Amino acid sequence: MRREAARAWLLGLAAGVLGGILSISWILPLFGVGFLPLVVGCLARPRPFGASGTLVAWGGTWALLFRRADAACDPASCVGPDITPWLLASGALVALGIALLALGLRRTRPAS
C-alpha cells in the first residue's frame, strides 16, 4: 500500500473512532457533529482508503461499545434491550469498509 493510501486509511480510522463515539454519545443534541468525522474520513484522498478506515473504525467502535454495555449489565438485576440490530449494523459497516479497502488495493495494484 502506498504511503498516501496508508495515511488516508489511518486518518479514516481516527475519524471513524471519533465519529462512532460522538454519534452514540450525543445522538440527539448534536447529531450532525457525530457525522462530521465521517465526512472528513470519506474525503481523505485516495478516497477508497479514507472511507474504508472510517467505516471499519465506526462499525468496530459501535460493536465494542454495545458489547461492553451489554457485558456490564448483571443478568440477575438488569435486563437491557436487544442489541442484535446494532451489532448487525456495526458488522455491516465493518464489512463495507473491508470491501472498500479491497477495492482500493485492487485499483492501486501495478499492472503486470
The answer to whether residue 112 is domain-embedded is no
Residue whose cell numbers read 471513524: 16
The answer to whether residue 40 is domain-embedded is yes
* Percent of all residues in the chain with a pLDDT value above 70, rounded to a whole number: 87
Q: Report the domain count for the chain.
A: 1
Q: Is the predicted pLDDT of residue 24 greater than 80, yes or no?
A: no
2: its cell numbers: 502506498
pTM of the model: 0.80
Report the pLDDT value the prediction gives residue 34, as an integer from 0 to 100. 63
Instruction: Quick: pLDDT tens for 37-65.
Output: 777 777 777 778 888 888 899 899 989 98
The answer to whether residue 57 is domain-embedded is yes
> Which range marks the domain in which residue 93 is found?
3-107
Averaged pLDDT of the chain: 81
14: CB partners within 8 A, 6+ apart:
37, 41, 53, 57
